[in-house]
Chains A and B, each alone.
Chain A
Amino acid sequence: MEKKQITPINYDNPVIDIKDLYKSFGDMHILRGVDLALFQGENLVVLGRSGTGKSVLIKIISGLLSKDSGKVIVLGEDMGNLSKRELTALRLRVGFSFQNSALYDSMTVRENLEFPLIRNKRYLSRAEIDYEVQEVLSAVGLMQAIDQMPSELSGGQRKRIGIARTLILKPEIMLYDEPTAGLDPITCTEINGLINEVQQQYKTSSIIITHDLTCAREVGDRIVMLLDGKFEQQGRFEDIFDKPKDPRVQAFYDYNFVD
């Protein structure tokens, strides 16, 4: 199923702009000169085999890891020289959906959702908090799970709650780390649908990291491939995967679709 384009994308307005980004761990050179722009309203899929540094990339964007060199501009702010307070303010505008959902397992679903809200918007009343919680829960279609513990939820439900927990802060950018990893095909399709709904309802610009080509095709407005520490291929799904010239791209395609 190809993605239908509904929301307009503003290609003059990059919300994330990365130039010549380098990152190593010891003598493992993970990112070697990454250039990347995410445009307003766009779903950008980053494809790559595991261990190529996809998670490292979005962790640098959200300030969880520091870069070695290069420029990372997020929503007009240079990540290189932000004070702690500025970084916190910026982070509220950037949502992060973790690969394993990272729900706080000692808290109920409701407490998970309230947690970032209460701590960042202390002026909210009880009724306003309840309202926001209900709203994101219905956005991800899990009203009935409100009083459950994370351990009682399925993988797909946990993923939804994880996404809801970032949506509650009304982010402008969403970063999804392998949103469909470890899920069955039907749940994958549901999560892909949710990612597209979020794009439209919440008017987010998103980076979706994955090695799942079905996910890439269903959610991506544009796709880039991370190969050997750089972005080598980019374009729409068909541009990259109809008769790929690069053998690495072909290998990736075969790995996904040929048994």
Chain B
Amino acid sequence: MQVTSRRFKDSAHEALHDKDIQSAFSKVKGGFPVARAKSAGELPEFEDLRDQARDLKNHILENLDYYLEYFEDQVLLQGGRVHWCSSYAEAREVVLDICRDANAKTVTKGKSMITEEMALNEHLSAHGIEPIETDLGEYIIQLAHEHPSHIIAPALHKTKDQVTELFHENHGKYGFTERITDPQALVNEARSILRDKYVNADVGITGANFLIAETGSTVIVTNEGNGDLTQSLPKTHIAVSSIEKVVPTLEDASLFLRLLARSATGQEMSVYTTFSTGPKRMEDIDGPANFHVVLVDSGRSDLLGSDKQDLLRCLKCGACMNHCPVYQAVGGHTYGWVYPGPIGAALNPHMVGLEESRHLPNASTFCGRCEEVCPVRIPLPKIMRHWREQAFETQVTPKPERWGIGIWAFFAKRPKLYRLMTRVSARALKLMAGKKGVIRKLPLMKGWSSVRDFPAPEGTTFMDQWKKQQREGK
């Protein structure tokens, strides 16, 4: 997908003036976070589970090669195949080859962020294979030729009216000519169209929430059951997964499952948790004849051992964005690449380059809500700060900003000069304000004055007043 993170400020401006986006994203805070707080509150061991999950993920990352190879062995034993891909390009080719081997004309797809990353749909389409998204949200944005604005609610930015129009424009060819507005009727219409697609698809592609080393299983969680149909009806199932999704045992997966839905939507469990272990066996009633796992690295292994390794613990639950006031204000697309919100601000610079995405880790107040709710306790603000340090060191930070900090630090490091500077500033600002008590326009601080008045200083610094008092013996 085209990266537009460089435009962050312009995109934010547009989003802040778009009524639909504002109403869609401002609603987030009353929804998911409230549900999460409730369900976390109902589980006394929730905080302990978060610690355990963090520690277990750390252990996995320390031994990632071991668990991945273990996983591969088990997949092979079950009769499946594993493809190791170091880049998106490689992964796209592997998937395309499998689809060609299956003579695929259409493929159904479960929701998957990694295939979003590698722009798989575009690649398949370009080679004459039609991908059909089966998650309702993904289906909607596929019709609209857009990208997800939230990692678990991809069509969050779409209004009901927009969906009505989209379906009306696109569903005529299936015999649905009426313009419908009832949400349930819209869902039903999409469902009945997708039903045929499931049956006729040659290949089903899903992501994976977990890969289980001890059994060679891939696991997906959904609320619509679309993933099950995607992976069990077609002849071939391809599970595409990034490498950090592996967990040692089924027991371990259950630890993460207890956290995942609670953190994401406040559900105790997602409606469907589906395990796929190898292709259909003789005694199985259904299932794919071919089972492939495509493991994608694409820069992730570079994070191992770095100051940003913690990012690889991410479960893709979306809690950080649900709780992020910046995300709520500007929406998901503003971030300009696959991952929005705090996880995007911390991860995208690694994936698409710091120069391209330097605004992302900067556009945060470090309010800390994301870290407070992240089920695997990723220190997101700290990682964003590391990006800022890197940007400063490598001169990605624009000059005026660097100079500003330089000048300020020059004084802050010299208390005597600093006193003089603050003495003069306090007086000058007070004079500027006059009787009003505020300054409406601050020179050199347009960012402040464009939004707020500046409450005027009292006029004499604390340090000067204090010294005077001390001299006079109070």
Co-complex (A, B): no
Which positions in A face B, CB cutoff 8 Å? none
